[in-house]
């Protein structure tokens, strides 16, 4: 049998002066426990060692959960800041044309989406569409009932709908929409006696808008947006 290694005076002195440095090092502690189990032999079960292994596993899971919670909190904070900046941007314009341009420029950039589309229902959709001119890339005027049909696709309509989509389905984004892979649709209520509308965001990333994502921030965005729109609707 080989003789056990003897600690040098320097190492022994350092351990006695600061034993916490061993206790705080997981690798060293694991090595000590393993050495203790070998010394006891294979016929002895060290319940303390088993308990420590389980506690270590639980601690690792708690640390991973903690990291996930912190990451989610930072992501939520970043999303909140994005929404606040976008709201401030569309509250600035003093005329409707500038309001629409903000949607196609600042709001698109702030929210990091490929395209923003405002859809309004009207009983005079044909004549209104003809008068849109350059604003047609941002604003679409459609027949009554279109919004509910587009968002619902045969299902109950919610205030915010997030989903992957195909170019054939995402017709509101125009004929050059082959890049559209997911969309967010926000149902807009302009008040009693008015037809509804919709605000839609398109992305080329199929995971950018997904049904399992939270919708609280977009619901808030839509609530502020529809109130801002009422001043332009008269």
- The fold of the 92-233 domain, in CATH, is Beta-Lactamase (3.30.450)
Q: Which pLDDT value is given to residue 46? A: 59
How does pLDDT run across 80-116, given as a tens digit for each residue? 888 999 999 988 888 888 888 898 889 999 999 999 9
In the chain, which stretches have pLDDT less than 70? 1-7, 23, 35-53, 71-74, 125-136, 234
From the CB of residue 142, how many other CB atoms can be counted at a distance below 10 Å? 20
| Cα dihedral 136→137→140→146 (10° resolution) | 150
What does pTM read for this prediction? 0.67
Q: Which pLDDT value is given to residue 153? A: 85
State how beta strands 182-188 and 115-121 pair: unpaired
Backbone φ and ψ of 6, nearest 5°: -105, 130
């Amino acid at each position: 049998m080989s003789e056990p290694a003897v600690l040098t005076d320097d190492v022994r002195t350092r351990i006695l002066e600061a034993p916490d440095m061993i206790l705080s090092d997981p690798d060293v502690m694991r090595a000590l426990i393993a050495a203790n189990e070998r010394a006891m032999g294979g016929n002895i079960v060290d319940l303390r060692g088993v308990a420590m292994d389980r506690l270590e596993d639980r601690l690792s899971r708690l640390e991973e959960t903690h990291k996930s919670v912190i990451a989610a909190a930072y992501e939520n904070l970043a999303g909140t800041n994005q929404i606040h900046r976008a709201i401030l941007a569309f509250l600035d314009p003093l005329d409707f044309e500038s309001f629409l341009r903000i949607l196609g420029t600042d709001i698109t950039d702030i929210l990091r989406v490929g395209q923003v589309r405002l859809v309004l229902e009207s009983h005079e959709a044909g004549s209104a569409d003809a008068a849109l001119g350059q604003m047609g890339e941002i604003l679409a005027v459609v027949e009554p009932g279109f919004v509910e049909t587009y968002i619902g696709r045969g299902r109950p309509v919610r205030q915010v709908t997030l989903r992957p989509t195909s170019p054939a389905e995402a017709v509101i984004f125009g004929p050059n929409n082959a890049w559209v892979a997911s969309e967010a649709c926000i149902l807009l209520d302009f008040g009693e006696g008015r037809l509804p509308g919709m605000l839609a965001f398109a992305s080329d990333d199929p995971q950018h808008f997904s049904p399992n994502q939270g919708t609280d921030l977009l619901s808030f965005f839509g609530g502020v947006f529809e109130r801002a729109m009422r001043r332009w609707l008269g």
